């Protein structure tokens, strides 16, 4: 039986970024887009070009993605021509594969929030969609407050949706903007809409205010919608958006959906889901929710004799799907089997082949456990994990040693009478039995240390010339006076490769230094620098 295509639209970078306390940098956005592209999501809504410098730059970067990078913006302002609407022009100027416009479809909102007539709003929607289509881009309409609008004035809500469809929109997305609609209402309303607009042009965009974001999305699919919008980890304002991290595995692993629908997420790509979910948490400096369905650390954890022995006989006794299908691992809390398979999976991902029963795996596991207990985060700092693993497997040369470093921070008035803070660092390193002392200045202690460390690495200098620090994240792990600092550093080189390293110490400069050293050593290994 042929399966119907189902389109997946991710809005983590746009709607998810509305979340309180979330502020993605350009690098964060590119990294997440890469994960989503690797997962096989059809569209990544990346932001509002023209609205802020990050999003404007994002749409001018080259992006070798299969996923359609989508720009978001408003329909044109009623009573104004498109050529006279600077916001709309910025949107048309963006290098986007598709443009998603949000338009009002609830008569109450048109009246109160826009203060224009219903006809003016409808015209604005049609003209805006037509302008996007004319620009050669794929057009989508997010029908804001569609479900509330439909309940208040079904004819008008549907007229807006149909108007956009007839103007050439590829997808008409029904949004439950306030998130209060229940699954049975979604089923009924989507069922009515697909009588007027073909279901393979209808999408669902649900919010989670009654904890039904996932249920509403699935209800819409069953009622005929063929695009699902949501975010990784359900990130989003208030109670979040529909959680793609739960929806995607449900669509692939549950036969009621898998037998009928087909997405671009292959079983192989699905195995990257847990990793993508953890990367988002790390970028947000959040501890992952252990109890998240499918991807949480506890989702396949079994404790207690009877459960564990049954799972060992046949995992289906207490697991609804195999954990490795989403890249998660089973945890049996009476042994370290879970830990071992976790380590083996990580080694496999970075391309280190080790026999399953190698005794060094056990030692590496103990070391990782001990380090994670004091604050290291190897799930995201894969370069640091790789270094640690290669060291324990005995194949990392000691390129250089750092004997000591010293950092000074001075706050003073300069010759112009301005208050300035300057940092200066001295690093004493040993390379081939030769001691090298370098001094660097910077706008902060870490920057100064980085400059000093990379000033003179002798024979290795050419390997690190193109190394660039992209991002630097600090997290204080415990409260009180014995707080520990974790520093995550993201680096990249001229070939566009990027990697993460981690350092942990009660002292922030020390933690940073450790992460910097890992980054340099990782680059040397990756580029095949010769042992001294
Ligand atoms: Zn939304």
pLDDT tens-place string over residues 66-79: 999 999 999 998 88
8 A C-beta contact, residue 96 and residue 69? yes
CA of 384 to the centre of ligand 1 (A): 37
Whole-number pLDDT of residue 335: 42
CA of 231 to the centre of ligand 1 (A): 10
Whole-number pLDDT of residue 169: 98
Whole-number pLDDT of residue 106: 94
Whole-number pLDDT of residue 481: 57
d(CA 473, CA 489): 6
User: Helices 26-39 & 273-283, crossing angle to 10 degrees?
Assistant: 170
Q: What is the pLDDT of residues 101-155, one digit of tens each?
A: 999 999 988 888 888 899 999 999 999 999 999 999 999 999 999 999 999 999 9
CA dihedral 152, 154, 157, 163 (to 10 degrees): -160
CA of 14 to the centre of ligand 1 (A): 9
Residue 192 burial (C-beta neighbours within 10 Å; 0-12, 13-18, 19+): middle
CA of 7 to the centre of ligand 1 (A): 17
Q: What is the pLDDT of residues 397-448, one digit of tens each?
A: 899 999 999 999 999 998 999 999 999 999 999 998 899 999 999 989 999 9
CA of 115 to the centre of ligand 1 (A): 22
Q: Which residues of the chain have pLDDT under 50?
A: 335
Between CA 202 and CA 157, with CA 261 as vertex, the angle to 5 degrees is 15
CA of 396 to the centre of ligand 1 (A): 48
CA of 175 to the centre of ligand 1 (A): 7
CA of 184 to the centre of ligand 1 (A): 20
User: Helices 359-373 & 337-349, crossing angle to 10 degrees?
Assistant: 100
CA of 174 to the centre of ligand 1 (A): 10
Which residue, among 34, 29, 37, has the nearest Cα to 12 in the 3D structure? 29
Residues near 252 by beta carbon (within 8 Å), at least 6 away in sequence: 258, 263, 265, 267, 270, 325
- Taking CA atoms, 261 is separated from 36, 220, 461, in Å, by 20, 13, 53
CA of 229 to the centre of ligand 1 (A): 9
8 A C-beta contact, residue 129 and residue 167? yes
Report if pTM > 0.85.
Answer: no
Whole-number pLDDT of residue 126: 97
What is the sign of the dihedral through the CA atoms of 374, 375, 377 and 383? negative
CA of 90 to the centre of ligand 1 (A): 21
8 A C-beta contact, residue 216 and residue 204? yes
- Taking CA atoms, 339 is separated from 60, 326, 333, 344, 368, in Å, by 42, 17, 10, 9, 10
Q: CB neighbours (10 Å) of residue 218?
A: 25
Helices (H) and strands (E) in the chain, counts: 20, 18
């Amino acid at each position: 039986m042929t399966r119907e295509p189902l389109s997946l639209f991710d809005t983590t970078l746009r709607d998810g970024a509305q979340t309180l306390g979330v502020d993605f940098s350009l690098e964060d956005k590119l990294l997440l887009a890469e994960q989503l592209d690797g997962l096989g999501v059809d569209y990544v809504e990346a932001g509002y070009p023209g609205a802020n410098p990050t999003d404007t730059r994002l749409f001018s970067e080259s992006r070798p993605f299969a996923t359609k990078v989508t720009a978001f913006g408003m329909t044109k302002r009623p009573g104004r021509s498109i050529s006279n609407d600077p916001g709309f022009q910025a949107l048309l100027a963006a290098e986007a594969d598709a443009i998603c416009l949000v338009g009002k479809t609830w008569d109450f909102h048109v009246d109160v929030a826009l203060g224009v007539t219903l006809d003016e709003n409808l015209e604005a929607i049609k003209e805006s969609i037509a302008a996007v289509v004319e620009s050669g881009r794929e057009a989508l309409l997010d029908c804001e407050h569609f479900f509330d609008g439909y309940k208040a004035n079904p004819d008008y809500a549907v007229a807006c949706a149909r108007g956009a469809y007839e103007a050439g929109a590829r997808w008409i997305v029904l949004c439950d903007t306030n998130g209060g609609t229940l699954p049975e209402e979604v089923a009924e309303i989507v069922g009515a809409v697909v009588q007027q607009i073909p279901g393979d042009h209808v999408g669902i965009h649900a919010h989670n205010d009654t904890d039904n974001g996932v249920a509403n999305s699935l209800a819409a699919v069953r009622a005929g919608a063929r695009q699902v919008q949501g975010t990784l980890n359900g990130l989003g304002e208030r109670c979040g958006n529909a959680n793609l991290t739960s929806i995607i595995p449900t669509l692939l692993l549950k036969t009621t959906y898998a037998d009928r629908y087909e997405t671009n997420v292959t079983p192989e790509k699905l195995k990257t889901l847990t990793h993508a979910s953890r990367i988002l948490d790390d970028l947000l400096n959040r501890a992952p929710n252990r109890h998240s369905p499918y991807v949480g650390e506890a989702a396949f954890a079994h404790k207690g004799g009877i459960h564990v022995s049954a799972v060992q006989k046949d995992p289906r006794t207490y697991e609804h799907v195999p954990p490795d299908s989403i890249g998660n691992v089973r945890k049996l809390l009476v042994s370290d089997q879970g830990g071992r398979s976790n380590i083996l999976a990580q080694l496999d991902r970075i391309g280190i082949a080790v026999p399953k029963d190698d005794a060094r795996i056990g030692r590496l596991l103990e070391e990782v456990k001990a380090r994670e207990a004091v604050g290291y985060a190897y799930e995201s700092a894969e370069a640091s994990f790789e270094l640690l693993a290669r060291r324990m497997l005995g194949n990392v040369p000691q390129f250089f040693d750092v004997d000591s470093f010293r950092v000074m921070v001075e706050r003073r008035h300069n010759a112009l009478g301005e208050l300035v803070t300057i940092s200066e660092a001295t690093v004493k390193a040993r390379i081939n039995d030769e001691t090298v002392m370098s001094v660097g200045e910077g706008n902060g202690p870490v920057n100064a240390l980085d400059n000093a460390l990379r000033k003179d690495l002798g024979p290795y200098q050419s390997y690190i010339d193109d190394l660039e620090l992209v991002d630097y994240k600090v997290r204080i792990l415990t409260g009180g006076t014995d707080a520990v600092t974790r520093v995550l550093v993201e680096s990249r080189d001229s070939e566009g490769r990027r990697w993460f390293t981690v350092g942990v110490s009660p002292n922030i400069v020390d933690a940073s230094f450790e992460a910097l050293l890992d980054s340099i050593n990782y680059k040397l290994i990756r580029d095949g620098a010769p042992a001294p």
